[in-house]
């Protein structure tokens, strides 16, 4: 296995996932959604010179997300099957207090420019909640037993040399923002081979906080995404 220090290129993220998540298909995803204004100020704008390089598809701040779980295709899951999953997640999330997380400096991963998010154990607790809820009701989802919390700033759209990206990132230093994690959000998500978008299906608060109703019409975000 080649480690990051030996890798010399990035490959297309969307080509890599095409077999398990084809363009245009809506899949349920569970996310932690940071405020778009914070992402714009502390991540998107400061690293604009990197994320707009040729061969990258920049993630617009209102679509920035920390994926917790990639669930089944929306068309494969009835509301009757989803209701027990939502009930289990709500029940477990009541027992988890809101917490803060730090979005670290971006790194070049195999298919994207990515910011690791810490603390991992707190976010993995949310991953475990959703994973167990989905398994308990027979819903298929991601197969990996590993979870590395991260926020993607740009996806690679083809194979290219990652040297210039790494060099530019090591020459750039910005403050690492802290976000409040107070809810899990279920979305119906799709991509077009370059951009990931979604509509919000359910917002489940942590710690027994007030529930946020899902919008009656497809919405881009539940938080502020004013430019």
CB 193 within 8 A of CB 14: yes
Give the pLDDT score at 176: 97
Confidence of residue 141 (pLDDT cuts 50, 70, 90): low
Buried b (16+ CB within 10 A) or exposed e, 175-207: ebbebebbbbbbbbbbbeeeebbbbbbbbbbbe
5-14, 99-108, 120-129: least confident range: 5-14
CB 160 within 8 A of CB 9: yes
β-strands 107-108, 99-103 pairing: unpaired
Give the pLDDT score at 143: 59
Q: Domain boundaries in the chain?
A: 9-205
Q: Give the count of alpha carbons within 13 A of 16, CB side only.
A: 12
Q: Give the count of alpha carbons within 13 A of 202, CB side only.
A: 15
Fold of 9-205: Cyclic Phosphodiesterase; Chain: A, (3.90.1140)
Span 104-123, pLDDT tens digits: 999 999 999 999 999 999 99
Give the separation between CA 51 and CA 56, rounded to whole angstroms. 6
């Amino acid at each position: 296995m080649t480690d990051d220090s030996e890798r010399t290129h990035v490959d297309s993220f969307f080509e890599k996932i095409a077999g398990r998540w084809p363009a245009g298909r809506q899949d349920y995803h569970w996310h932690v959604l940071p405020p778009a204004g914070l992402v714009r100020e502390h991540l998107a704008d400061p690293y604009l010179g990197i994320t707009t390089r040729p061969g990258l598809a920049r993630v617009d701040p209102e679509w920035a997300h920390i994926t917790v779980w990639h669930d089944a295709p929306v068309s494969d899951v009835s509301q009757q099957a989803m209701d027990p999953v939502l009930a289990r997640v709500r029940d477990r999330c009541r027992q988890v207090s809101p917490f803060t997380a730090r979005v670290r400096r971006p790194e070049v991963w195999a298919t994207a420019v990515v910011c690791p998010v810490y603390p991992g154990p707190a976010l993995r607790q949310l991953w475990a909640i959703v994973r167990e809820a989905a398994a308990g009701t027979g819903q298929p989802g991601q197969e990996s037993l590993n979870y590395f919390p991260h926020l993607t700033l740009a996806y690679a759209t083809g194979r290219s040399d990652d040297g210039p990206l790494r060099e530019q990132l090591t020459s750039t230093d910005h403050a690492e923002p802290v976000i409040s994690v107070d809810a899990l959000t279920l979305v119906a998500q799709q991509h077009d081979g370059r951009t990931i978008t979604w509509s919000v299906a359910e917002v489940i608060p942590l710690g027994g906080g007030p529930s946020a109703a899902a919008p009656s019409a497809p919405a881009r975000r539940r938080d502020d995404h004013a430019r």
